A and B are shown apart, each in its own frame.
Chain A
Amino acid sequence: MPETVISAQNLGLTFETNDGPVHALKDITLDIAEGEFVSLIGPSGCGKTTLLRVIADLEKPTGGTVSINGMTPEQARLARAYGYVFQQAALLPWRTIEDNISLPLEVMGLDSATRASRIKSNLELVNLAGFEKKFPWQLSGGMQQRASIARALAVEPQMLLMDEPFGALDEIVRDHLNEQLLKLWAKTKKTVVFVTHSIPEAVFLSTKIVVMSPRPGRIHEIIDCSELGTDRPLDIRESPEFLRIAHQVREGLKAGHSYDE
């Protein structure tokens, strides 16, 4: 049995706003084991980003506990236990692609030879070799997002937290990046927490799908996808098991939504 990496107990977060409290998260209890690929899916505003930010120590919970490898989120952040990929590529416009990837490595105080080798290998991993000297604006949106993934990977974290990394990309690029991400995950055995709006994307990538519902943000259902195996070609999306799980996710999303109206 693999070890539990992320463990949330009755996690809650209420934002105090001018028009009263917003219950972004309520009673979230979730265990994520090492090497798992967990997707968070749910309607807009159900707290997916907030949950990811709590795990990353970018937001403090107002109730319950989270532990990451037995540490508090803050300790885990200070130990650089995770790489975070934002919804936008968030590259620094004044740095070239290689210098952008170098940024976290400089912060970590790595020497230039180590930096250079990590930049090279991670750019190759996301198929961006040859674009080292380009500035972000010279790259397409998909390429920028790949660069930001390379930047997160270069830190060599045990854990990847990804907030709708492919949300703004077209279907074809998205498929391609999904395949690459899956290969990468199979190769590196990292634990991934992945936020998405897309049912096929969630089913294709995940070992476990967390369906969330809004107001207050809660976990509606946790769906296991391990029966799809680890070797998943793109056309697995036409297989009956895939369609059955996708259907289950869709039903879960509907049920979570219904008593809203």
Chain B
Amino acid sequence: MSDSSLFRDKILPIGTVVLAIIAIWYATAVFLNAPFERDQAERAKTTISFSEILPRTMAQERPVLPAPHQVFAELWDTTIGKKITSKRSLVYHSWITLSSTLLGFLMGTVLGVALAVGIVHFQTLDRSLMPWIITSQTIPILAIAPMIIVVLNAVGISGLLPKATISMYLSFFPIAVGMTKGLRSPEVMHLDLMRTYSASASQTFWKLRLPAAVPFLVTSMKVAISIALVGAIVGELPTGAVAGLGARLLAGSYYGQTVQIWSALLMAAALAGLLVMTVDIIGARVNRRMGVKPA
């Protein structure tokens, strides 16, 4: 791709959308924060003009919706401006959430792949497990997360693992479904081919089913890693955890620190984007090594 087409194909459209979002964000912030300023003025028995309101709506300490520059200032202050070991550093909190996300994602991937392998090879597992796997995802995670934390705490497991378990609970599902589909994706002709070689079930698995499933696995891993992050954040909410992005969200909402909430939210979004991108890049590399025709 030449420079001009990179600009035209990537930077221009993405940049336009970002600018539009920021513009809408400012407008909404003004609209939502203005009533507070009017109230204040009324209480002080003064009248206030719109041109006076405008700058104030962007500088409130606890705005309904903080203006973008307030959030970015907070982000800057809590990432670059603090030591990463500090409890006030967003990098520190992100790391706490990230570590349970990654552990949960890993556990979810292992569990999902194991379930898929079982389901594809044993008809009874297909019939007995699939309904439970699907049912598991219809229970709202917010209902089940506190129970997982409480139960695991009762048996003496606390810290990283309970949160990772919630991430696993969410992320194993797309992996199990995608991997099952992938392991079943080989054409009948290829299965017949293995049969003419009188290949064993395990040879057929390693040489045909597994490689055929890799692109499916990559796709479901992209979904799984972002919901693993959601799981980790949700896992931090019911425990009143003191660290992690979830804890920052919760603390922020207790004290009406909207700027803190929004910066934690943005951080979570950036983290999710980063994680998905990492899986994407690794996946593209694996696919290329496996001879997938470049698009």
Chain A residues packing against B (C-beta within 8 Å): 56-58, 77-78, 80, 82-84, 86, 88, 90, 92-96, 103-104, 106-108, 135-137, 155
Q: A94-B291, A107-B203 are in contact. Are A80 and B211 (CB under 8 A)?
A: no
B279 / chain A contacts, CB cutoff of 8 Å: none
Known contacts A88-B189, A107-B203, A107-B207; A77 and B291 CB within 8 A of each other: no
Chain B positions within 8 Å of A137 at CB level: 291, 293
Alpha-carbon distance A82/B198, docked complex (angstroms): 11
**The residue from A58, A103, A108 contacting B207, defined by CB atoms under 8 A apart:** A103
B3 at the binding interface (Cβ < 8 Å): no
- Chain A residues near B203: list those with CB within 8 A: 106-107
Q: A92 to B290: give the CA distance in the assembly, Å.
A: 10
Within 8 A of A (CB), among B8-45: none
Contact B196 A92 (CB under 8 A): no
Known contacts: A56-B196, A107-B197, A107-B199. The answer to whether A90 contacts B293 by CB under 8 A is no
Q: Given contacts A86-B192, A94-B211, are A155 and B292 in contact (CB under 8 A)? A: no
The answer, among A56, A88, A93, for a CB contact under 8 Å with B291, is A93
Query: Are A58 and B196 neighbours in the complex by a CB distance under 8 Å?
Result: yes
| Residues of A contacting B190 in the complex (Cβ-Cβ under 8 angstroms) | 90, 92
Q: Does B193 contact A (CB under 8 A)?
A: yes
Given the known interface contacts A92-B208, A93-B291, A107-B207, the answer about A77 and B195 at a Cβ–Cβ threshold of 8 Å is yes
Q: Does B275 lie at the interface of the complex (its beta carbon under 8 Å from any beta carbon of A)?
A: no
> In the complex, are the beta carbons of B197 and A108 less than 8 A apart?
yes
Between B192, B196, B207, the greatest number of chain A beta carbons within 10 A of the residue's beta carbon is seen for B196
> Closest B-chain residue to A161, C-beta based?
B196
Between A and B, how many residue pairs show CB distances below 8 Å?
55
Check if B197 sits within 8 Å of A94, measured CB to CB: no
Identify the closest chain B residue to A137 (Cβ). Answer: B293
Q: Does any Cβ of A come within 8 Å of B194's Cβ?
A: yes
- Chain B residues engaging chain A, CB cutoff 8 angstroms: 187, 189-190, 192-199, 203, 207-208, 211-212, 214, 290-293
Q: B207, A135: Cβ atoms under 8 Å?
A: no
Smallest beta-carbon distance B214→chain A, Å: 8
A-B contact pairs, 30 of them (CB 8 A): A56-B196, A58-B192, A58-B196, A80-B197, A83-B196, A84-B192, A84-B193, A84-B196, A86-B189, A90-B187, A90-B189, A92-B190, A92-B211, A94-B211, A94-B212, A94-B214, A94-B290, A95-B291, A96-B291, A103-B207, A104-B197, A106-B203, A107-B197, A107-B199, A107-B207, A108-B197, A135-B291, A135-B293, A136-B291, A137-B293
- Residues from chain B with a CB closer than 8 A to the CB of A155 are 197
Residues of B contacting A92 in the complex (Cβ-Cβ under 8 angstroms): 190, 208, 211
Q: How far is the CB of B186 from chain A (nearest CB, A)?
A: 9
Nearest CB of A to B161, in Å: 36
Nearest residue (CB) in B for A84 is B196
Are the CB atoms of A94 and B292 closer together than 8 Å?
A: yes
The residue among B190, B194, B197 with the most chain A CB atoms within 10 A of its own CB is B197
Which residues does chain B contribute within 8 Å of A135, judged by CB atoms?
291, 293
Residue in A82, A88, A95 whose CB lies within 8 Å of B196: A82
Complex CA distance for A86 and B214, rounded to whole angstroms: 25
B-chain residues with CB within 8 Å of residue A57 when the two chains form the complex: 195
Measured between beta carbons, the chain A residues less than 8 angstroms from B208 are 92
A51: min CB distance to chain B, Å: 15
A77 with B292: CB separation less than 8 A: no
Q: Taking the nearest CB of chain B, how far is it from the CB of A155, in angstroms?
A: 7
CA distance in complex: A64, B17 (Å): 71
Q: In the bound complex, what is the Cα–Cα distance between A56 and B212 (angstroms)?
A: 25
Q: What is the bound-complex CA distance between A198 and B195, given in angstroms?
A: 28
Chain B neighbourhood of A84, CB < 8 A: 192-193, 196
Residues of B within 8 Å of A106, CB to CB, are 203, 207
Q: Are A77 and B196 in contact (CB under 8 A)?
A: yes
Q: Which residues of A contact B214 (CB under 8 A)?
A: 94
Say how far B163's CB is from chain A's closest CB, in angstroms.
37
Residues on the B chain within 8 Å of A104, using CB: 197
Complex contacts, B207 vs chain A, CB 8 Å: 103, 106-107
A39 to chain B, nearest CB (A): 20
Residues of A within 8 A of B197 (CB): 80, 103-104, 107-108, 155
Q: Separation in Å of the B201 CB from the closest CB of chain A?
A: 12
Given contacts A82-B196, A88-B189, A103-B197, 7 further A-B contacts (CB under 8 A): A80-B197, A90-B189, A94-B212, A94-B291, A94-B292, A103-B207, A107-B203
